[in-house]
Each structure stands twice: as C-alpha cells, then as structure tokens.
Structure 1
Amino acid sequence: MGFPKGRRRIAVAVAALLVTAAVAATVYRVLAPAEVSTPARAGYPPASSPAPGVVGRLPVAPLIVDGRLRVYAAHRQVYADRPVGGRHRTTPYWSYRRWPAALDGVVASGTTVVTRWSDGRLVALDARTGRVSWQTDGPAPVGERTARRTSAATVWDPRGVVVAPAPDGRQVVVVAGAQWMRAVDLADGRELWQSYTTVTVPPGDGSDAAVGCRDAVGATASGQLITVDSCAGPAVVEFRDAVTGAVGVRWRPAGVGDELVATPLGCGTGRTGCTGLRTAAPGDDAGRGWLFGAGEPVAAPALDRPDAELVGGTAVAVVDGVPVGRSARTGAELWRRPGLPQVRLLAVQPDRVHLLTETNDLVTLDAATGAQRSWFALNAGSDGTGWAPGAAYAADGFVAVERLRKPVDPTADDQRYYLTSEPVILAAT
C-alpha cells in the first residue's frame, strides 16, 4: 500500500520546502555579514632589537606596531604575528576578519591598530590582545582598490585614512571619502566632526552631480590635517585643526596652475606627523619644497628635488651619485658621503637614511651626521641579490623591501612579478 496521490503531493511539497529552508539557512550562514575575532592567547611579546642584518623573508608586507608585532593585511582579514624579528611568518598571534567587506587600509598609533573597510566601517583593535576596542561608520573609500599579493599598499600606503596627533595629547583618526570626511577620537571612536568633500556640478544634461573636490593628504606634527581643496576654484592647501575641524590657514603657492599635487614630507607611516610638503603641477617633476611653521609654509629649496626626503631638519638626496644632507631650513650642507658605490635613496625613518646599491647592499646612514650605521647584502637564504626593488618601508629600526623579478613587468601576474613566494625581505639596521 502507498500514500494516496494527494498525500504524496503534499509530502513532496513539504520535503521540498524543508530542503529549500535548509539550503537558505546554509547560504545565509555562509554569505551573511559577519565578523570573526580571534584574540591573542599568549602574553604580549617584549620589544626586540636584533643585530644589524637580514632578519628573514615574508610572503606579505609587515607593518611594525609598537616595536613588538608585525601586522599583515589580507583581502578580508587583518592579523599579527610575533616576534617582530622572526625569520618567517608564524601562526597568527591574533586575527580579525570581516565578511563581505574587503580590507582597504591599516594604520597604527601606539598599541591601537585602526582598520578601514570597503563599506566605510572603521574597526580599532588593541594590538596587545587583538580584541576590538571600538568600531564606527565612516565614508566609503573612493573607488575599488586592488592590492597585489603582498598587500604592501594596504599597510604601507593606506589611502584616505590618517592619524593626527593633537596638541593636547589626543590622537585623531580622520577618514575621507568621495562625499564627506569624518574625524573620531582614537581612544574611543567618538565623533569629533564631519565635513563635506564634494561640490555640485551640472554635467550638461540638466542634472546635477556631486564631484569630490577635497582630498586629505596627511597630517602635520602639530595636529593639523592637510587637505587639497578645489571646491571653489583653483586648488588650495588647507590646514584644518584635527580636533575641531576648523580650517585655519588656506595657502596657495605662487606660480602654480589651477591643479595642484601636494606631497607631504618628513612623515611617519600613513603620512602622519609630517613636517614639510612638496608642491607641483600634475605630472610635473619640477616641484617646490616647503617647511611647516606657525603660519604659511616657508620655502625650502633643498626639498625641491623630486627624490629629496626630509628627516628631522635634514633634507637628504642623492646628487650626482653622492648622498648629501642639507639643512632643510637654510640649505647649508651638513654632510656628504662620496666614495660609495652607485646608490639610490630607498627609505628613511626619523633618525636613519637607507640607501640601496646596484648590487642590493643596504647602506644605512645617520640622518643628522651621515655616519655609517650598517652595511650588508640584502640576501636571504639562497635567493641571491639579482632582483629589482619594489615598494619599501622603514620603521622602528627595520627595513622591508619587495623583491621583484627582473626585468620588472608591472602587467604580469604575481607569480611572474615577484621574485619568490616570499618576496618581502626584512632587515634590522
């Protein structure tokens, strides 16, 4: 005996509904917005100061945090490992993952790591534990950013997010998007101010469109946000109080056209704590260097060269193959280092200048005196030194460099573009 035909139809329908519900529940569990935080289970590691030399090689770019951790970026994840001088990447010390948003940028100040996501969400993590300290909404990043395998751009050159030190000791996180920017207190994520970054422009078809016209490019050491404003005419550099959002000095260098490119100088990672600026027309290497002060920026011709860097009060450049340090304020020569092989200026940090020779030796000089601090080959294992340098980063006495396969082909896939599966070499200086 079997079920009557009517009952069979009902049973089939019920079974189909149950299967559909199970599938929907599974899809929801997989695709629903979610975050997964895996905090640290071990004690916070001590600070490390390895002897000068190659520390190791890594598959992705590290951000050195508090001199104790290496923080990395993945497509939908930020995570840390230790020790800071470890030879290889190790099991994560802590990890934080979001879905479906993508990680757009990472900045750090002290023991706080701030992550910015493609949906505009800001999530601050305690570097000591990996736990979420606070999270809040902000403007979404401008456009989609595609990071290569090392994610160097995400941690070494985050866009649209800056940490500004305030005179009262506070730290302010400023995030900018296509239509607005927002400032929050680093300590608790509390909003301090908002400002629009667009102007309404009729495109010619009778409608109006909002066009981004204010770009945040960095923050000064005295707690001012640096923006380039082209909302009401030719581009102007604004200096805005990071805590209140109030615009103080609006400045435009003489002799520039309607458009202006402003490159902050003397900054820490993430273009914070900057002490100078170079201005130029778009696509023009003939720039002008400036130093920040109480009022408008002061001309600093020693920073005019497009390859000049500002370290403390010293303008450093390689001139006719010779590294030279000059007073950024007066232009007087402070030191020079003739007799070195052909070098290029690779990176700087507050007290050090890092040079790279044609044979990929790393030469580190004291920024104030030009005295040699260390000199060694950037070679890890049996990889050799027959590679081309890519993006570079320096902080807390360490230098990290992407190693690219020669000849460099920016259009190649990552397997061809990078030298090995662990293309980032890390060195202590």
Structure 2
Amino acid sequence: MEFTLADRVSALTPSTTLAITAKAKEMKSQGIDVIGLGAGEPDFNTPQHIIQAAYESMTEGHTKYTPSGGTAALKDAIIQKFQTDQNLSYSPSEIIVTSGAKHALYTLFQVILNDGDEVVIPTPYWVSYPEQVKLAGGNPVIVEGKEANEYKITPQQLKESISTRTKAVILNTPSNPTGMLYSKEELQEIGEVCLEHNILIVSDEIYEKLVYDGHSHTSIAELSSALKEQTIVINGVSKSHSMTGWRIGYAAGNQTIIKAMTNLASHSTSNPTTTSQYGAIAAYLGDQQPVEEMRAAFEERLNIVIDKLNAIPGFHCLKPQGAFYLFPNVSKAAKMTGYDDVDAFTKALLEEAKVAVIPGSGFGSDDNIRLSYATSLDALEKAIGRMHEFVVNKSE
C-alpha cells in the first residue's frame, strides 16, 4: 500500500550533520578507523551534582507530569540566571521551558508565522532554521554573512532584505557553525533596524557560556528595554552544562507569544521531562566551576589546533570567538585535489582520509566545512594530520 506524505514534510531537507554522522558510525561498526569531527555536543559528562539532583528528584517521587511550560522552580532558576548574567528581569509568564532549545524554536515559529510570512536567516546558519520556518508555512529569506565580515550580516543587508511580509530575523551568537560573535555595537545597529520595521528578533544564545580569548557574549535583549520587548531569547543547558541528551531549553520574551507557545506545547509534548527539569535547576543554581573547566578546555584545544588547520594547503579558517566549531573555507583545497565542489571533497575526506566533517552546504555556505573541537586533542591533531596528508598527496 502506498501512502502520500504531507507537502510540509516532503519539502524538508534531511539533516546534513545527521547523515554524515550516520555514515561515519556505519564505517566504525565495520572496524574502520574513522575520526568523527561532526559532533555538536561537548565531550564531557554532565557535572555530577546535576546527575545527583536528578536522581534524588526521582527517589523523592518527582516522576509525574509538570505544567506544560515548565515547573515554577525551574522558571525561577532561569529568571535568576538572566538577572545574574544579563541584568534582565523576566516574570514566570514570560518564560516557557521546552524539550530542548530546538523545540523552543520550532514552537516559536509555529505560533508567530502565517503562510507566506518571511524570516530573515543569515548564512552560515544552523541547519534547522530554514526547515523549521518552512514547516510553519513561512519563507526563509537567506542573507549572506560574508567571510570578510566574519560571517555576520550588516544592518544595511538586513534593511535590504525586509519586505511587507517580514516577521522576524534570527541572530545566533556565538554562531553555529562559525563560532563568531556579534559585538554590542553590531547588535545595537541591527536592533535599531528591527525596531524601525517592527521585526521580531529571535536571539539564539545556546552557546553563550562558550566564549574565548577575552571575548564576551552580549544578548541583544540587554541593550535597551525596547529591544528586550522586541526579542525572544532562546537558550538552554545543553551546551553550557553538557546536557544535550537531557533536552531542556527555554524561550523568554513577550508573554502573549510565550502563552501561545505554552498552549501549543500542551498539545504536543505535554511537558518537558520532569527529571531533566530538576537537573536543570541544579545546573543553574549549583556549582558553575565545571562550566568554566569545560570552556577552558575548549579554549585550549582551539588555540592549539587553529594554526595547524590553517597550515593545510588551500584551507583558510577565521579564528572562532565562541562555540566549539571550526569553519574553514576549503574551496581552494577542493580544486587543488581535483574535486568539483566541497561536498565531493568532504565525501573523499571520509572515504579516503577517514575523517568525518560536515560540508558547509548544509549551513548555506558551499565553500566551507564544519569540524567540531568537542573531542579529544589527540583525535583533533590526528584528524588534521590526516587531512593535511590527504590534500598534499592529492595535489601532487
């Protein structure tokens, strides 16, 4: 019997990161020595005090449903986090806890977009942004963040992309996949364009705790009361506290939007996982030293491998300021080694050099690859050595 799928899913583009990861795992299962650099998660276990808090919550009987938008205790912890980190004040009615930050974004687009509404998405973008907008009936408007501008868009570019259908713009700082940060001044200028045209700002700040070399993260919501009202902040504990599998994210902002998101969540997920919410409370109210230790480890790896990566012929990589990804432009290396495009070059790296990286095409940037340094320094150096050898040998 044949089934016809809904148009909304037929138009989806499969996740490039998941496809590469699956292929690498398949090769490993066959005994092939593949080094995977596609991971989008820290290679540290969740801190012990968080695990302990979650365990105790279960033994105390906290294993039932919670309110759809999250427990009062976790909302209070998130409110305290905003106050401490950004000097921002939110009420519980302005916060929804979700099953991961991805779910927060998905639910947000479902409640703010009507068919044909437009969302401005800078490239390089996280792979799910355009797909989630399309699933909500919206149209992604892709604006190129140029390498010469550290892969960030300018206020003028944003202004030129706006139409009568523009509903929102997505800002991701630090960025996945580039690791670049928008400065306070850049955010202020972009914010002024959004205020002038009444555009909602979707500020994805999931990597805010992972910044390096003296850089600091700024939330656009903290720049003025007007920008706070215009912004929905998306965040979670996945990257900051190495809790990717716990699936706790949240959105903070306009209470009308948050209420609509909560209503939708009540008909989709019922509530975020109860045990995970207790873990997230401990993450925000407990010892933050493990967060700093993880950040420092990523910074050390970055500073060790960035020059080695740039020493590969045909590779050019801006030094990231945050997150845990390297995003080199490898278009020259692809041509030098005889490949028509970076996608083919990436495939050859996996099959011949046994290194799994993610092609930039999945992020809207055809000339790049993304590799994660959320893995051991030994594996990183070995993988870079293999890529170097591959390019040199293929170029001869």
TM class by smaller structure: under 0.3
Mark the structure with the bigger radius of gyration.
Answer: 1
TM-score (norm 2): 0.24
Q: TM-score of the superposition, structure 1-length normalised?
A: 0.23
Higher helix share: 2
RCO higher in structure (CA 8 A, sep ≥6)? 2
